[in-house]
Structures are given as C-alpha cells and as structure tokens.
Structure 1
Amino acid sequence: MSTAGVAGRRRAGRVAAAVVAGLLAVGTAVFTAPAAGAADTAPTRAAVFTRGADPGPRVVTLTMDADWYTPGDVPRVLQILRDNGITAGFGLTGRYVERYPDQVRAIAAAGHKLINHSYDHPAFTGLTSTGRADQLDRAEAAFRRLGLGTDGWFRAPYRDGYLDDGVRADLASRGYWISYDWTFDTTGYRGAGTEVILDRVRRYTVPGAIVLMHLSSESTDTAALPAVIATLRGMGYGFTDPYRSVTRGAIGLHWAALGGRGSVLGVPRTEERVATTAGTAVQWFAGGRVYWREGTGAHEVHGAIGARFVELGSVTSYLGFPLTDETPTPGRTGAYNHFDGGSLYWTPGTGARSVYGAIRAKWASLGWERGFLGFPVSDEVGVVAGRASQFQGGNVYWSATTGAHEVHGAILSRYLALGGTAGRLGLPVSDEYPVPGGRRSDFRGGWLRWDAATGVVTAGYA
C-alpha cells in the first residue's frame, strides 16, 4: 500500500476494507512453500513474503512506500537509515519515479532496495492480465530511464490481491517472482502520532517482520522513524535488509558469505525452492544460482559455466548437483565447477565445456588443464563406435571395450587425415608412448609411429 494523499484515502470501500483487514494481519502468510518435486525452472507464481523467509531470528526489515503526490523528506530518511546502519526497501510507483528522479537516484545510490509498486497505484484485482502487465512495464520503464531497476520485485498497491493466484501468475509471467508484502503498517500515512505508531510496533512486531511505513510529506512516519528504530532495538530486535530477508538456511548463509548482493550472484530473484526432490533446494539470483543438497551443502554457479549448466538441464542433467563453487584454475587462466557427474571448464577462448566419465578420468590422470592436453574445446560427442572430447592439445577417445585413450600432436593429425575413428585404424587402444627413435599410438586396426628425426608419421595395419 502506497501513500496517495487525500485522493488515495477516498478510494472505493472495497479496497479500503481490504486495506484495514491487511493492517491487522500479522504473520498469516510468511512465504509460499516450495512444491515437492518442483523442477529447476522459472516460477509460475510470484512468491509472497509477508515476513522474512527465515522467521526465526529476531530481526526486522524496514520499508517505505511512495506515490507521486509529494516526494517526502528523502534526505532526512536516508540520513536516519545511514546513521543506524539500516538498508531498507522502497516501494515506488512509476509516476513517483518520473516526478522525483533525484530522490530515486539518491535512494538507489544509498544501496536501498527499489521495488516496483505499479505505475499509478491501481487495485490489481480490478485489472486484466494485460492491464497488470502494462502497470508493471510502465513503472519499470520509469526506473530504467534512470539507469535503475527493481530486479523483478513487486509490492501490491493497497495490498490488493497480494495472495490472489491470478495476480501471482501474471506477476511471474512478467518475471516478477518476488511479491514483497509486509507484516504490519505503522499507519503514519493516516497522520498517526508517534505514540500510536510505536504502540503498533510493540504489538505487531514478530521475528522476521517486514514493517511498512510511508515516505510522503503528509506521513508522520519520517518524524517517528528514529523512535521506531530505538523501540525495536529496545525490544531486542536487530535489522536485516530486504535482500537477505528473502534468503534462508544454507543457501542464504552461502550467498551472504560470498558477498551477498555485492557478489557475482547479485540480488535474489526468487524464493528458495525445491530443486528436484526433498532434501534439495535452489534459489535464483540476478547473476547465477545457488544449489543445496543434503550431504553436499550449498554451491553456486554463474556466468558462462552457469549458462551452460542450465542449457544442459541443470541438476536434472547428467552433471547433477554442483560440488564446488566456480573456482579459478591455477594461474587464473580459466575457471571450473565440479558436479556429481562431471565438470564444466571455461576460458575466454574456449567457452564453457563439459567433461565427464572415463574421458574426464583420463584427462585428470594426465594433469587436468595443466597437462599437455590443456582445456577442453568441445563437449563429449559421439564418434564411430565410441565417444570423444577435443582438448587444446589433443583428443581423448573412449569406448566400453577400449577404455579412454589420448591421441595428440603429429600422430593425431595423421590419424584424422586417415579418417579417425571412421577409418581403418578405428579407436585408439593405447595412449601415445615412446619407442626407439620416436613415439607410437596403437589402434584397433593398427598403429601410427612418429619418427623424431624426420617428423614423418608412418601407419601400420593389423
């Protein structure tokens, strides 16, 4: 619910009644529970956060809403928050953003969370899906003209329809996967005195509470803000920020340890959800995803490796769950993630490539990317009678009967010229090995020998 001045307080009785009912609701809808067996796919419904995702700790999140009628004393609010080390959420309508761009820039520059609060504050249950999309898009466009964005976070005007399944579906269809609701409203927008506001704070604060205040010049919330903060601290509460409030458990701790919204993962985009089955979880962030599984813990994927992982099917693919975060290779020439079923390696020149199974084991035995084979430049592919992966320094071939063997250098060039696995030589049955005067590789159908003196590769057939 955003301030709308006198005009806003004269809305239809249906909306007003919904607002009053909402003011008294405390902890009735914490967040939408993840569905068992859910796939690692985009949410079809926005997750509603009436309290923080982890309601156990004695922390609260402060938020302020604003519509276009008056800007509010933004410098004063930001100073109070800064002095108290608090990061808050700001639900702003598109027309507020358009009318008061300097205030919005200041809010964003201070690190506070911007939330799409619609364009002109209508009741969402009274709109069609097209109308809802228009409200979201016009508001987001106002933010983007300032070089800002809301990362797919939304707050319902008047709290109207915040639990409505159709509204939540329409939000998700536009990429708004977090509906950032609130636990109680201080009612400063009604001109409530400080003692009334503090009484509501004492009565309705619960662990994980999301407190709604209003930014308008008519609201008494700004004047009461220092007392609200002091009262909450006197009650034994600390403050968390909106970003952290939508994370929980091992995923939340891991994200925070990586640097939170300042890390490569950035801002949370979804709630924590079941990844595949019970005992697994995933949460999407602006820059990547964090997966958790009982027994292996929480690990992130991001960037080109994350994109390739998702392209392959993420945790439902042969790779399974990540066992590491993305990690720089020695010398920082590339990066990798290890997974249940293999690895993804990346360099700027090769892109992200998967390697797994017996071919990965052979590559590892030869020194990983530090060996003569270097980084993979292809995923594993099917070849005649087997499988193969191409590396910077050669190829590794595999079949169930021959095992995994490497071929490289001049011998590889000659082998490929003779047709590779489709030629008379067939699959390799040995790695390259030294012989008097040169080196040799054996194949199902013969051998190739490199002469050190002449550089000539000679073929022999069985």
Structure 2
Amino acid sequence: MSTSARAALRTAVIALTVPALAVIGGIAARPAAAADTMPYRAQVFTQGYDTGKVATLTFDLDWRTGTATENAASKANLETVLRVFAGNGITGGFGVTGRFAAQNPGEARNIADQGHKIFNHSYSHPDFMTLTQAQRWSQLDRTEAAFRAAGIASAGWFRAPYRSGYMNAGLNRDLALRGFYINADWTFDTTGYQAADWTTVSARIDRYLKPGAIIVMHVTTPSTDPGNLQRIIDKIKGMGYAFVSPFQAVTRGPIRAVYLAAGGPSSLGAATTGPMQASTAGTEVQWFQKGRLYHSTATGAHAVRGAILTKYRAMGTVGSFLRYPVTDEQPGAGGGWHSTFQGGSIYWSSATGAHEVHGAIRTKWLALGGEAGYLGYPRSDEKVVSVGRAVQFQRGNVYWNSRDGAHVVGGAILTRYLALGGTGSRLGPPTSDEYTVATGRRSDFRNGSLIWNRTTNTVTVVYR
C-alpha cells in the first residue's frame, strides 16, 4: 500500500466513531470453552465499562526518524503531555511503537514510571490487515523485546496502527494466540494529528463525548493535541465529566471494586484480559499481571495470587472441587499465606510450597490450630492411601476414612507406622489421635496400637 493510500485509509478510519460498534467487545462469537481458560480472541475496547460521565485519555506515539528540529518538537510535545497529565492528576494510556521504544528507551520508561498504561502499537506501524499471521507476530514480538530493553511492558494490550482491522475476528484471534487479550481501541479521535485547530477539536468533543469514552490523541509533530491538552481537559470537565485510567476502564462491577480497593495496578498490576464468564451465567473472572479476580453471587469477588494461584490453576480453578474463593489471600503463621475456597483451602509457606487441604482432614487440622498448631503447614495435597485418604504436614500426618474419621499420627509413632506400611499394614488405619499413657504416648489403630516409651525412646507394636 502506498504512503498516500495509507494516509487516506487513516483519515477515513479515524473520522469514524463507529456508533454501532461502540459496545465493549462486540466481535464474533467464539467456540465454547472450558471454565477460566485463555480468551479465544482479543477483546476490543472502543469505550470503557463506565456508564457514568467519565472519559479516558490516550495518546499514540511513533517517533519516526526526522530532522533534529522535528525530533526536538516531538520530545517537547511528550514532555508537555506528561506535565499536563501530572498537573491534573490524570493517568492516561500510550500506544507506543517498538521503534520508538528502541530509539528512545528513557522517554518510554518515563511514561511508564509516571504510572501511565503502555499499549503495544506494533514495531514499525504497518497496516496489520496487509500482514500474514507470522508478520503480525513478528511486529508484536519485536515491540515486546524493545519494551523489555526499555524496562516497560504492555501486559498484553494492543492498539492497531491506523485502526485497520481492529474489529476483524482473524486479527483478534492472531492477537490472542500471541498472548494479547486486550485490543485497546478508542471511541473518537480529536484529529489533532492533522494539525486540527481548536474549533475542530472542540466540535468533535461536543459531538462524540459520551460516558466511558476513550479518546485518542497524538504526540508527534505536527499534532496540536499536546498544545491543546489543557483546553481539552478543561472542556471535558466543564461538560460534567471526570477522568478514569485505562486500568479502571477495562474493569467493572464487583471485580472493579475489589481491584481498586486492593490498590489497583500498584497491587495486582494491569488487567491482562477483559472480564470473562468464569463458569456459569452470573460468574466472572478477570486476569491481571499479579493474580486473578473471581466473582460469583454466592461468594462475592476475591483475588487469588502468586503460588496459591499457580496451585489453584493446576487444580482447574473454578472447575475443581475448590470452586470459588470466599476470602482474599490471608497471612498465616510464620510468614505463610492461605486462601479459602468453597471446597477447601490452599496454604503456602516458603518451606512447604502450596498445597490444598479440604474436608474432614481440614476440619481436624484446623481444630488443632491449623498452620499455627503443632502440625504446621501441609507438605502434600490430600492423597489416596490404601485405606481412606491422608495429608502430610510438617510434623505429622492426618488420616481419614469413612469408618474411623480423621486422626493424627506424628513423631516417632508415625516413623514406625510408615516403616510397617502405614494404612496398608496389619495395623490398618488409626482410630485415635496420639494420647498420653504412663510410659509415654500411644496411638490406636484398627488392629492394634503403637506405644512410644519416653525413657527408652522406642516404639512397641501391640497387635490385637
């Protein structure tokens, strides 16, 4: 495509506000998927989820190699934008090309350091509808490499050059296959990149501003947007609007409330997906850089993070017997953490890693003080043994079967019991916890007992 043809395409596309597509998402239906799996296509955001009078301000940034005068003017424009945003307490979004980040890593990092959201805007700003899948992925990958070198990240947010194909199902599938699940589009362009005067920009705001609008502007000279930015902000405020960050714009409802209450991007990072149905109707999950937020009407919205999330994912998240979280992650004894779910808990410590505990074994363990009690943290998930089920803890095991219930075996008695074959031995499963006797400690089993002598430090087996 020629330069003039691309310019014509860009002018034609940007002039649109796409009222029929101004819903969030809005791309073709995807095949059915299992619960809480990666999106089939990137979700397109032509506006935020807000229904109140708020707007989100974004800029696109692609410094081509120009004259020293042009580059100096563009750098001054960027400094103006960041200064005005800071002066008004606004967190914006920036569609940054890979070549800009490669040529100007300090400026790119400064944008992110000031808290603004970075979008992958391709490496060299081609029309993605003219590229093969491999070429699209190359553009994305090269940009991410430049971002990493500059110390910034897109978190899987993409913005289409020229807005070309932004609603195309194939393009959005290609994005998802490369880990880009958010297509950060926009509601309207000020057309400042065309050197539009204030009258033109003001008229476009009057015509196209609406609740949740995402506004795109441009940094590079000859754009008038940097010079007009304070007037744009003042006009939008005068129309009764406030400003929300891109981080907030892609969240909604109870998940948004928990995300913001937890500290937003400073706590969970940026969203890496839009909100998705977690399992059945009325449930929702959203993935973030540092965790996931789950919501159901029965449990409310709660975050799952770190090693606990890794374990939860390995188990199948909401599709597992654990189902939905009923608490956020909580601190545990000795610097550990735990999260409680409808069907059990996951506990983590640096010494043991993350393991699930549920059912009667969990009830028994919690009655004994949980991780703060004698047994400490779990060292295994619940597993099947020859008779019933068991969980290994730091200082003992809890065994359960439907006939005898849950009982603890620990210390020297546990060592001897395991040497004999555990529940598969002649002793069978435990029928009591360890208790004090005259000579020391004793545990009873279906077919006998193990008695520890405190004087000799030996364990005697007594069979029935």
Q: Same fold (TM over 0.5)?
A: yes
Residue 371 in 1 paired to residue 369 in 2? no
What residue number does 1:49 align with? 45
**Alpha-carbon distance, 1:16 to partner:** 4.7
Instruction: Determine the structure 2 residue equivalent to 1:362.
Output: 364
Query: Which stretch of structure 1 is more off in the superposition, 23-32 or 130-139?
Result: 23-32
Match of 2:287 in 1: 284
Judge conservation of contact 2:286–2:294 (CA < 8 Å) in 1.
yes
1:9 Cα deviation from its structure 2 partner = 5.8
Residue type at the aligned position of 1:133: W
Partners of 2:321 and 2:260 in 1: CA distance: 29
1:8, distance to aligned residue in structure 2 (A):
5.8
Specify the alignment match of 1:4 in structure 2. none
2:206 maps to amino acid: R
The correspondence for 1:298, drawn from 288, 298, 301, is 301
CA RMSD of aligned residues (A): 1.7
**1:432 Cα offset (Å):** 1.0
1:342–1:355: 8 Å Cα contact kept in structure 2? yes
Alignment of 1:81-96 (within 5 A): 81-96=85-100
1:84–1:26 CA distance, 2 compared to 1 (3 A): farther
1:315-326 matches, cutoff 5 A: 315-326=318-329
CA deviation digits over 1:139-167, x for unaligned, max 9?
11111111211111000011111110000
Q: Give deviations 1:60-83, integer Å, cap 9, x for gaps.
A: 000001222353511111111110
CA spacing shift, 1:255–1:437, aligned 2, 3 Å? same
Structure 1: distance between partners of 2:216 and 2:441: 75
| d(CA) in 1 for partners of 2:433, 2:427 | 14
Instruction: Decide whether aligned partners of structure 1 residues 8 and 299 sit closer, same or farther in structure 2, where only a CA change above 3 A counts.
Output: farther
Which runs of structure 2 are paired with 1:194-205 in the superposition (5 Å)?
Answer: 194-205=198-209
- Match among 153, 161, 186 for residue 157 of structure 1: 161
Query: Deviation digits for residues 396-442 of structure 1, max 9, x if unmatched?
Result: 11111121111011111111121111211111111112222322111
Q: 1:329 to 1:461 in 2, by over 3 A?
A: same
Secondary structure class of the residue paired with 1:11:
helix
Q: Distance in 2 between matches of 1:388 and 1:166?
A: 49
C-alpha distance 378-24 of structure 1, shift in aligned 2 (>3 A): closer
Inter-partner Cα distance in structure 2 for 1:286 and 1:320:
22
What residue is the counterpart of 2:68 in the other structure? Answer: none
Asked if structure 2 preserves the Cα contact closer than 8 Å seen for 1:388 and 1:397, the reply is yes
Deviations for 1:70-113, whole angstroms, at most 9, x for unmatched residues? 53511111111110001111101112222333321221221111
- Secondary structure at the aligned position of 2:6 is classed as coil
Matched residue, 1:231: 235
Question: Unpaired runs of 5+ in structure 2?
Answer: 65-70
How far, CA to CA, are the matches of 1:18 and 1:224 in structure 2?
22
TM-score by length of 1: 0.94
Q: Which SS does the other structure have where 1:202 is aligned?
A: helix
Counterpart amino acid of residue 42 in structure 2: A
Q: Per-residue displacement from partner, 1:231-275 (whole Å, max 9, x unpaired)?
A: 000000000111111111000110110010001x21110001100
> In the TM superposition, what are the counterparts of 1:429-440 in structure 2 within 5 Å?
429-440=431-442
Equivalent pair of 1:192/1:220 in contact (CA under 8 Å): yes
Q: Distance in 1 between matches of 2:363 and 2:420?
A: 27
> Which range is displaced more, 91-100 or 342-351?
91-100
Q: Distance in 2 between matches of 1:98 and 1:448?
A: 70
Question: What TM-score does the superposition give when structure 2 sets the normalisation length?
Answer: 0.94
Structure 1 stretches lacking a partner, 5+ long: 1-6
Distance in 1 (CA, whole Å) between partners of 2:228 and 2:431 is: 79
Call closer, same or farther: CA 1:377–1:430 in 2, change over 3 Å: same
Residue in 1 that maps onto 2:403: 401
In structure 1, the partner of 2:414 is 412
Alpha-carbon shift at residue 185 of structure 1 (Å) = 0.3
Distance in 1 (CA, whole Å) between partners of 2:205 and 2:121 is: 23
Residue 38 of structure 1, CA deviation: 5.5
Alignment of structure 1 residues 256-271 onto 2, 5 Å: 256-263=260-267, 265-271=268-274
1:335 aligned onto 2:337: yes
Listed as ranges, the matches of 1:173-184 within 5 Å are 173-184=177-188
Does the Cα contact within 8 Å between 2:80 and 2:227 map onto a contact in 1? no
Query: Match for 2:23: what amino acid?
Result: V
Q: Do 2:98 and 2:147's aligned partners in 1 also have CA atoms closer than 8 Å?
A: yes
Change (3 A) 1:276 1:62: same
* 1:226–1:102 Cα change, 3 Å: same
